[in-house]
Amino acid sequence: MKYALLYSIGFYLLYSIPMNSQKFILVDSISKKETLIGIEELKFQKNKFQKQGFHFVSFDTIRKKNDSTFYIQPFLNQKIKKIIFEYKVDSSNKSIKQEINKIESCQAEIDIIQNQFIQNGYLKTVYKLDTFYIRNDSFYIKYSFQRNQKYKLDSIHIISTSHSINDKFIRKILKLDKSDRSDIDFKSIVEQVRLIPFIDLDKNPEFTIKDSSAILHIYVKDRKTNQLNAILGLLSNAYNSNSIQFIGDVNLSLNNILRRGISLEINWQKNLANSQFLTVKSSIPYILNTPIGSSINFTLEKFDTSYLRIIYQMSIDYYINTYQSISFLYKNQSSSIDGIDRISLQNGIMPKYLDYSYTQFGIGYKLNKLNKLFFNKKGWKIDANFLIGNKTIEKNENITSLKDNQGNSLEKLYDTLNLSQTVSSFFIDITKYTGITKDLILKSQLESKNWLSENISINEMYYTGGIRKPRGFDDNSLITPNYVTLSNEIQYYLSEYFYSNIFADITIMQNSLDNKKINNPIGLGLGIALKTAGNIFQLNIGTGSLENQKFSISNAKVHINYTNVF
């Protein structure tokens, strides 16, 4: 029986389903019931038995009806609880074991292992099947890998047929022109190519083998990364108005301008009543073919008739490699108020908005090791900076020209403030994708912004909520000088570019009016995302809870996101 089973397993590994027949009559071995099925139904029956643990099920022909139809009967063999894939490398006696779901997965594991060795310079890696056996309801299959000679990297050729790719520029990014290549391996080069945002691998790298070295040929193509993104928000009970409001957010992103990796991004928002925001960002990497780059950021924010806020930020960037950089930052921010409350001022109450300007210097760090530009399933992304500088509170002429009821100038109200203060800010955004199963992905994000100053007016604070988390709230409706948001999102992929998701955003934030009070807004919701050719559609529905606001469908916030990739 044992040898018969092993013979059946060996036969199964080679050929487990008759392939020269088009129709089959499946005969139940107990009831003798006959069912006419095709090849696809036969595969379905096989998978059903395998899920029950009968991994070596075969279908034996018991008689022939005609030239195209056969009577078959399932032969289940022994039930297997575990399949253990095991392999050893070269002459090592140490084996590496891992459990796999089905026999068909063996070849995929072999390809991964062999490819890893090849990428590390063992270009003539071969493998063979050593043995397979059953023990205690577990099936073991063993392979051995022989790596053979390790080849050093002689040279690297970047090959592309796209006119938008500058081969010399790509070589500078990858630092391929240095004479000493002893510290460069095949794997690291290929990984860095994958992480360049505006190019992609056209096909697997190839090698030309010399005596003890090899030439690496990397085939690249243009990756479509330019984006036109539009978000439409449908907010019920918007900003506690008991009415439905629409908000808009439009973003244009252009990349690899002039074939030099230059980027330009323009964003326009309209959400708060009579408020509009405009942001323009641009970066120039690898200036004069050095790892030094520069970026600039300009933001103009108009908050109804209350105040105007202008932000300039510049940086000198040092690119450690294709996926991480360090920046030295300069930031200037100023704000001017448009309207004042005369009655409050004459009663000795300073406005919650103040005119100010400040200058800061600092350092930043960025890392992006996501596996895809869209619909990521694994990887990290980090963006962080710290700045410190000096803030000047400026006296507003509309206030200083007023007098109180006793005829004294209201300029005296500024005597209670320190007009020159040290200010510092800290920002961090960490995103991680973790595969729970092949189709179930956990996206975790931690975002925190902190503003430290002796006197903090409302127009210095951060506006968050809605599109920019926590979801389930009106856009930019949460105002705070300090907050941290932890967002967890479970994505279930129905296909490569289609998933449904549920999310929970938890925020801890300092109250904008009482710095000793902590608020804890929580947003819950669900959504879907779909990519077709160059178009991406996303839909998110969320509801939030904060103090007197409870989770409610009547307060649901809907955001429809459309992106055109070109």
Mean pLDDT of 367-380: 93
Kindly state the percentage of the chain with pLDDT values over 90: 56
What are all long-range contacts of 546-552, with beta carbons under 8 Å and residues at least 24 apart?
546/473, 546/519, 546/520, 546/521, 546/522, 547/519, 551/524
Q: Per-residue pLDDT for 15 more than 70?
A: no
Q: Per-residue pLDDT for 487 more than 50?
A: yes
Instruction: Tell me what pLDDT residue 22 has.
Output: 61
Instruction: Tell me what pLDDT residue 183 has.
Output: 57
Look-up of token digits 């929580």? 522
CB 296 within 8 A of CB 309: no
Q: Per-residue pLDDT for 348 more than 90?
A: no
Instruction: Tell me what pLDDT residue 137 has.
Output: 87
How many angstroms separate the CA atoms of 38 and 59, rounded? 13
Closest CA to 172 of 285, 327, 296: 285
More confident of the two residues 26 and 540: 540
**Mean pLDDT value across the chain:** 89
Instruction: Tell me what pLDDT residue 102 has.
Output: 83
pLDDT digits (tens, 9 = 90+) for 293-342: 999 999 999 998 889 999 999 999 999 999 999 999 999 999 999 888 88
Q: Per-residue pLDDT for 14 more than 50?
A: no
Q: pTM for this structure?
A: 0.78
**CA angle centred on 368, ends 155 and 174, rounded to 5°:** 15
Instruction: Tell me what pLDDT residue 18 has.
Output: 47
Mean pLDDT of 40-51: 80
Cβ neighbours for 304, distance < 8 A, ≥ 6 positions apart: 272, 273, 274, 275
Instruction: Tell me what pLDDT residue 448 has.
Output: 98
How many angstroms separate the CA atoms of 558 and 8, rounded? 57
pLDDT digits (tens, 9 = 90+) for 110-132: 999 998 898 888 999 999 999 99
Cβ neighbours for 521, distance < 8 A, ≥ 6 positions apart: 465, 470, 473, 478, 507, 509, 544, 545, 546
Instruction: Tell me what pLDDT residue 76 has.
Output: 77
Instruction: Tell me what pLDDT residue 305 has.
Output: 81
Q: Is 358 exposed, middle or buried (0-12, 13-18, 19+ CB in 10 A)?
A: buried
Mean pLDDT of 270-276: 85
Closest CA to 177 of 188, 187, 167: 167
pLDDT digits (tens, 9 = 90+) for 57-85: 878 777 777 877 878 888 777 888 899 99
Q: Per-residue pLDDT for 211 more than 80?
A: yes
More confident of the two residues 265 and 271: 265
Q: Per-residue pLDDT for 387 more than 90?
A: yes
Closest CA to 299 of 279, 285, 284: 279
For 135-157, letters b (16+ CB in 10 Å) and e give eeeebebbbbbebeeebebbebe
How many angstroms separate the CA atoms of 400 and 354, rounded? 13
Q: Is 12 exposed, middle or buried (0-12, 13-18, 19+ CB in 10 A)?
A: middle
Please give the span between the terminal C-alpha atoms of the chain, in angstroms, as a whole number: 62
